[in-house]
Amino acid sequence: MAMKLKKVVPLGRSFDEYRLMFNLSKQDLCKRIIGVGDGPASFNAEMYAMGKPVVSIDPIYMFSAKDIQRKFDKVVDNIIEQVRNTPGDWTWTYHMSPDDLRDHRKEALDNFTSDFEQGKEDGRYLRGELPSLEFQDGTFDIALCSHFLFLYSDHYDYNFHKAAVYEMLRVSEEARIFPLLDLMLNRSPHIDPLIEELERDGFVVKIKKVPYEIQRGGNQMMWVFKKPAHRKLLI
Ligand SMILES: C[S@@+](CC[C@H](N)C(=O)[O-])C[C@H]1O[C@@H](n2cnc3c(N)ncnc32)[C@H](O)[C@@H]1O
């Protein structure tokens, strides 16, 4: 058994984790990026501090930083306990132990909360949710989704996943999704039918090995982009 969660939990990752999970190059980091389901990740805050603003979307942004912190506090001990009780399910190369993992999640949360209210005013944190994003076609170059799609495959069905990924590809030239495993460490059952549909519709889909792993065996990212003919001509 890996992890049982009744609903999606607000735990966030750092810039460094995003960089590794999504194979983000220096050039990628200068592009127009949207993080979908970014929750209390500190990717946005850290990118902003580097002078590279990104947009994060999450339904949880309807709450205040304090409320999000309370939600984190409510679930974090149970999650770390579940991790501690299933030692064979985790890879301790990036985070060194369950306690180290907890510290990293708290650090990301603190970076997020200290940036959140200002970022909301700047329009960098927007309340929104898949499968419908309030942006025009092609607003972004890269759409990222970490630890929401595929991970919660038991909570969201195939049609939700399909609509969500196509929506990411409507607002962005490409989409990157990590991990491909669900909470029970199984490869999401939605992946293969989705790849088939995307390829049939002319998208290029690549499954890339990445230098980040915490769920044992969870070191792959889905990278989907439009074939050149799909891309709009830049005049
Ligand atoms: C496990 S957290 C991951 C946060 C962040 N992406 C990371 O990896 O650090 C999952 C996030 O998905 C968000 N979420 C839930 N339903 C969503 C939806 N329909 N569309 C977008 N995000 C959603 C939750 O609010 C939560 O913040």
Give the pLDDT confidence of 4-36 residue by residue, as tens digits: 777 888 899 999 999 999 999 999 999 999 999
Residue 182 identity (one-letter amino acid): D
Tell me which of 62, 76, 134, 148 to substitute to probe ligand 1's pocket, judged by most ligand atoms within 8 Å of the beta carbon.
148
Please check the confidence at residue 232 and state whether its pLDDT lies above 80.
no
Say yes or no: CB of residue 9 within 6 Å of ligand 1. Answer: yes
Specify the CATH superfamily of domain 15-230: Vaccinia Virus protein VP39 (3.40.50.150)
CA 171 to chain centre: 16
Spatial separation of the C-alpha atoms in residues 145 and 61, rounded to whole Å: 16
Q: Take residue 90 and report the two structure tokens written for it.
A: 């985790």
In sequence order, what E strands does 14-152 have? 33-36, 55-57, 125-126, 140-146
* Single pTM value for the model: 0.95
Enumerate the β-bridge partners of residue 144: 35, 176
Q: Is the pLDDT of residue 231 over 70?
A: no
CA distance 48 to 121: 13
- pLDDT > 70: percent of the chain: 97
Q: Ligand 1: which residue has its CA nearest to atom 27?
A: 39
Q: Residue 59 C-alpha to ligand 1 middle, in angstroms?
A: 8
pLDDT recorded at residue 45: 98
